[in-house]
């Protein structure tokens, strides 16, 4: 990823007043049924049994990844870290799979790559959601002034999103009340291996997000929605509504930001739009038609470059990671997941019970 989306689109979007997640926000006023027996608007669902995310634990997951060294494909650190993910998710009781593939970099270097997939199955669920991040580190510090051709730690760009998802897996495994929806956590590999800034002639297309491109072309699961986490752990990070997400997954984006407002993490989740960005969610949406929201840091003080000043430099290390930022993102996503019904039958049963409860008592 890591470049602005330059695509131009000329199609109009139909805006449906339907819930994509478990929270349903009606387009009309609340209250009873309308004239001529029209049904009342749906009642918003909120799960009060959502467990708490631990910021210290999420931080430890970031540090563990960084301690392996830069997770650049074809390196020893990359192999060891990938093995660690598989062991850790398995220890939490999730079904794990390594999707191995050969990715070809912009310069035709072949990258030994693995998408890490961890799955949670809920009883009686017919819906599956996708939670994703990329786990590889940038192979060059192409925005730095020193050691430009050395790999970076990628503490925030890569490790932070993975750490939040690992913390969610840990939290769910230990929770008394489980989500009612199936969950696939996918850690995309070879996302950050695109053209360096110092190469002026960039003639090849789609050189970023190689892991998500491969996964999307080789996955047959239908997903209710998706959430992508990218650069979600820095001190003072702000998350705006990324443009491509708004255009292709508006319901998911708006509901996520409403969850943030309700649980008090809206100091991180800013209710303004940011420009479109090329990230894994673009390929997941284009290839698999999954409405996917990208939670990604945006620097409004430098909208031309989009990212904070540490981006693709050696300053992207453990020193910039903040436990509270990780916790805020994790809690917002987990609440949204817990608000998601695992089937239409579950959603219908809740609405029926809520409407019955709302009826005035007989005199």
Q: Which residues of the chain fall below pLDDT 70? A: 1-40, 361-363
Question: What per-residue confidence (pLDDT) applies to 303?
Answer: 86
Question: What per-residue confidence (pLDDT) applies to 226?
Answer: 98
Question: What per-residue confidence (pLDDT) applies to 362?
Answer: 57
Query: How many angstroms separate the CA atoms of 26 and 36, rounded?
Result: 19
Question: What per-residue confidence (pLDDT) applies to 209?
Answer: 98
Q: What order of strands is seen across the sheet that includes strand 292-296? A: 95-104, 110-120, 182-188, 128-134, 226-230, 292-296
Contact present, 138 and 192 (Cβ < 8 Å): yes
Q: Within a 10 A sphere around the Cβ of 178, how many other Cβ atoms? A: 15
Question: What per-residue confidence (pLDDT) applies to 144?
Answer: 97
Query: How many angstroms separate the CA atoms of 191 and 210, rounded?
Result: 5
Question: What per-residue confidence (pLDDT) applies to 288?
Answer: 98
Residue whose token pair is 């510090």: 141
Query: Of 235, 163, 183, which Cα lies nearest the Cα of 340?
Result: 183
Cα(first)–Cα(last) distance of the chain, in Å? 63
Question: What per-residue confidence (pLDDT) applies to 35?
Answer: 39
pLDDT digits (tens, 9 = 90+) for 302-331: 888 899 999 999 999 999 999 999 999 999
Question: What per-residue confidence (pLDDT) applies to 11?
Answer: 36
Portion of the chain with pLDDT greater than 90, in percent: 84
DSSP-assigned letter for residue 156: I
Query: How many angstroms separate the CA atoms of 355 and 351, rounded?
Result: 6
Question: What per-residue confidence (pLDDT) applies to 363?
Answer: 55
Domains of the chain: 3-358 (3.40.630.10)
């Amino acid at each position: 990823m890591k470049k602005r989306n330059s695509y131009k689109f000329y199609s109009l979007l139909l805006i449906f007043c339907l819930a994509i997640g478990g929270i349903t926000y009606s387009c009309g006023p609340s209250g009873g049924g309308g004239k001529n027996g029209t049904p009342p608007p749906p009642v918003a669902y909120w799960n009060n049994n959502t467990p708490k995310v631990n910021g210290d634990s999420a931080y430890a997951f970031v540090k563990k990844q960084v301690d392996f060294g830069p997770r650049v494909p074809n390196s020893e650190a990359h192999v060891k870290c990938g093995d660690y993910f598989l062991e850790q998710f398995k220890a939490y009781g999730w079904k794990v799979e390594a999707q191995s593939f050969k990715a070809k970099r912009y310069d035709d270097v072949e990258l030994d790559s693995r998408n890490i997939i961890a799955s949670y199955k809920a009883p009686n669920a017919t819906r599956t959601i996708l939670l994703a991040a990329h786990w590889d580190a940038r192979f060059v510090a192409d925005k730095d002034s020193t050691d430009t051709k050395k790999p970076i730690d990628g503490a925030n760009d890569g490790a932070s999103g993975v750490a939040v998802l690992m913390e969610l897996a840990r939290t769910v495994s230990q929770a008394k009340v489980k989500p009612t929806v199936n969950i696939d956590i996918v850690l995309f590999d070879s996302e950050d291996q695109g053209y360096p800034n110092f190469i002026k002639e960039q003639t090849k297309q789609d050189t970023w997000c190689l892991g998500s491109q491969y996964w999307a072309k080789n996955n047959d699961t239908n997903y209710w929605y998706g959430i992508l986490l990218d650069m979600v752990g820095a001190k003072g990070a702000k998350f705006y509504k990324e443009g491509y997400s708004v255009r292709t997954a508006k319901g998911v984006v708006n509901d996520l930001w409403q969850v943030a407002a309700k649980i008090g993490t809206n100091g991180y989740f800013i209710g303004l739009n940011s420009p479109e960005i090329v990230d894994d969610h673009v390929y997941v949406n284009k290839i698999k038609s999954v409405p996917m929201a990208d939670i990604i840091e945006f620097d409004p003080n430098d909208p031309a470059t989009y990212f904070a000043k540490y981006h693709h430099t050696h300053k992207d290390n453990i020193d910039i990671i903040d436990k509270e930022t990780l916790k805020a993102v994790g809690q917002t996503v987990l609440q949204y997941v817990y608000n998601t019904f695992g089937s239409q039958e579950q959603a219908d049963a809740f609405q029926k019970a809520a409407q019955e409860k709302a009826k005035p008592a007989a005199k």
